[in-house]
Structure 1
Amino acid sequence: MVYYYTSNVVSPSAFIYVGKDKVENEDLIKHGLECDVWYCNFHADNLSSAHVYLRLRDGETWDNIPEDLLIDCAQLTKANSIEGNKKDNVTIIYTPWSNLHKTAGMATGQVGFHKQNLTRKIHVPTRLNPIINRLNKTRVEKFPDLRAEKEEYMKKIRREERKQREERRAAEKREKKEREELKWKKEHAYDDFLNEENIQQSSNQDRDPDFLDDFM
Structure 2
Amino acid sequence: MVLYYSSNIVDPPVTIYMGKDKFENDDLITYGFPEDICAHVYVRLQPGQTWLDIPQAVVEDCAQLVKANSIEGNKKNGITVIYTPWDNLKKTPGMETGQVTFHNNKKVKRVFVDKRINEVVNRLNKTKVEKFPDLRLERIQREKIDRKNARLDEFAEKEKARILSEEKKRAEKEINDMFDPSQMKSNWRETEVEDINEAEEDFM
Deviation of the 1:59 alpha carbon: 6.0
SS in 2 for 1:195: helix
Counterpart-to-counterpart distance in 2, 1:110 and 1:28: 12
User: Identity over the aligned pairs, expressed in percent?
Assistant: 45
Counterpart-to-counterpart distance in 2, 1:40 and 1:85: 22
Superposition pairs for residues 1-216 of structure 1, below 5 Å? 1-33=1-33, 35=34, 38-43=35-40, 52-57=41-46, 60-191=49-180, 194-195=181-182
**1:196/1:162 CA distance change after superposition, 3 Å:** closer
TM-score w.r.t. length of structure 1: 0.83
Structure 1, unaligned runs of 5 or more: 44-51, 205-214
SS in 1 for 2:9: coil
Deviation of the 1:64 alpha carbon: 3.0
Q: Give the CA RMSD over aligned residues.
A: 2.2
Match of 1:207 in 2: none
Counterpart-to-counterpart distance in 1, 2:135 and 2:9: 27
SS in 1 for 2:74: helix
Match of 1:211 in 2: none
Deviation of the 1:164 alpha carbon: 0.7
Counterpart-to-counterpart distance in 2, 1:196 and 1:16: 71
**1:155/1:203 CA distance change after superposition, 3 Å:** farther
Deviations 1:160-216 (A, max 9, x none): 11111100000000001111111122122132xx328968xx997xxxxxxxxxx7x
Counterpart-to-counterpart distance in 2, 1:196 and 1:69: 70
TM-score w.r.t. length of structure 2: 0.88
Deviation of the 1:79 alpha carbon: 1.1
